[in-house]
Every structure is written in structure tokens, then in C-alpha cells.
Amino acid sequence: AARAVAEAIADAEQRAKALGELAAALVRAGQIDGLAALWRDARTADELWRMLVIPPAWFAELPALGAELLAATQWVDAALARG
């Protein structure tokens, strides 16, 4: 429900901020799959970077997170290049 509300925000900057807050909540709850899904579905680079709220230790413990981040970054860059 929180994700749907955040994604419904029309203003891109406010939507990115709300998604960043949601990402932080997912990290606190240990919801890695939900965080990865947010990254994959980012609409803008700003959204993606605001959602990067991962404790650095997670990258060592869960290497798949780094791969998810790179995949999402590449997707957003490609989508933005297409216009």
C-alpha cells in the first residue's frame, strides 16, 4: 500500500523522496526483495539514487544487492536515453 501511494505522487521530486523513505523502511525491516523491486521499477535516476539507503555491510553479506543496483542503474540509464 505504501508503495502504491508513493508511486501515485505526480511531482517527480516528491515521488523520489517518498520512495526513498519507503526504501529506508524496507531496509530497517530487512525486506531485501522489496528493495530490489523498487530499484528495478525506478522511473528516474533521481528515484534510484534516493532509494540507495543500504547499510554498506549488506553489500558484503548479500552480494546480489550490488548486482540488482547495477541492473537497475543500467535500466534507468537506457530508459532515459530512449526518452
**pLDDT range class, residue 22, cuts 50, 70, 90:** very high
Entry pTM? 0.64
* Alpha helices, DSSP H, located in the chain: 2-7, 12-29, 32-40, 45-50, 56-61, 64-82
Reported as a single tens digit per residue, the pLDDT across 28-60 is 888 888 888 888 888 888 888 888 777 778 778
